[in-house]
Structure 1
C-alpha cells in the first residue's frame, strides 16, 4: 500500500520534511502561481509529485508539465476532458464518498488512473461503517483506490483497508506529524502479506 503525502500550506518546509520520508508521491495544493511551484520542484526531485485542487486549464496543465509535475488530482465538476485526456500524467479523480450508484457506474470508462476518496472526518479505530464507505466504491470502481485520511491508522487497521481494496493512503503534513508519517511508513513496509484465499485486489 502506497503512502502519499499532501502539502497544503508552508510548502517549502513541507517539502524539506518529506525529503527524508521518501513517500511514494507528494500532492501539493494551494501553491500560488507557476514561479512558486518551480521553486518547490527542486526539493521534490527524488519523488513523484503532483497538484491537487483548483481548476484545470490546458495552459495550466502545460505549465505543470514544464515544472516536472507527475500527477493531477481533480474533481468531476468543471474539469475539461481535453485537459486530462492524455497518459503523460497520472490522473486521480477526487470522489465524494457519498457518490451515488449512477456516478460510480460511470467512472470506469473515464480517462483516470485512480480514485481518491476523502474520509478525513474518520477518527480513531476504523469501524465497519467507515469501511463500508470505502468498499461501496472499491467494489464498483475498477481503478486504483486512494483514501484521504486525517490521522494514521493502526497497523491492524492497515491490513483491513488493504483487504478492502485500498491501494494508497493520502495524509496532509499540516495535520499529521512527521513522526506519525514515519511510523506509518514503517507499518506499511512491515505489513504481513495477504493470507491465501482472502479477497484482495493487491495480491
Structure 2
C-alpha cells in the first residue's frame, strides 16, 4: 500500500505527482531524535505519517519555549520558510514519540510546488494554520498572565485528573521559567486547587482552574 494513502491532506493528488512521491522511502525515527537545529538549512519538506514532533526556540541562556507540535496532517512552518524563503532554522525539532515520516528533498519539493495544485494547496493551507497557531502562542505569552497560562496548560494536559510533567516541561510549554512555574504551583497548592508531587500535578478543583484560565489579560 502506498504511503500516500496515509498522508492526510494529499487526497486526490495528481497521478504524475503521486508517482514521484510514492518513490520516496518512509523513514522510521526513534523517540528523542533531533531533526534539525538552529543555523541549519532546510534539506526538504517532511510529511509526518505517525507520531509527534515538537519544535522549540532556545534562548541564549538555554531556556526553551515550545513553539509548536507537529502531528500527521500538519506542517513545520520553519521548514516551509526555509525551502521557500531560504531562511535557516532558528529552532530545534525533536521527535517526542517514535515517528514515521517521508522527506521530500528540496529540489523535488520546489518542482512539485510548481506543477501540482493539490500539493501547493496542502503546503500553503498547512502553513497558514500553523502560522495562526504560532501567532496565538505569541499573543498568550505577551498578554496573558502566567497564572492563566498555567491553569490552561494543566487542564489541557490532564488525564484522569493528573498531569505527568516536570516543572521544566510545563515551563517550556507555557513560555516561562521553571522557577516561576514552581512558585505558581505552590500558590495553587496552598489555595487547594492542585496537589503537587514529584513529576505529577493532581487537579483538585478543575472548575476554579477553568475560571482562572479564562481570566483577562495582563495589564
Class of the TM-score when normalised by the shorter of the 2 chains: under 0.3
Of structures 1 and 2, the larger Rg is shown by: 2
TM-score under structure 1 normalisation?
0.25
**Which structure features the higher share of helix residues?**
2
TM-score under structure 2 normalisation?
0.24
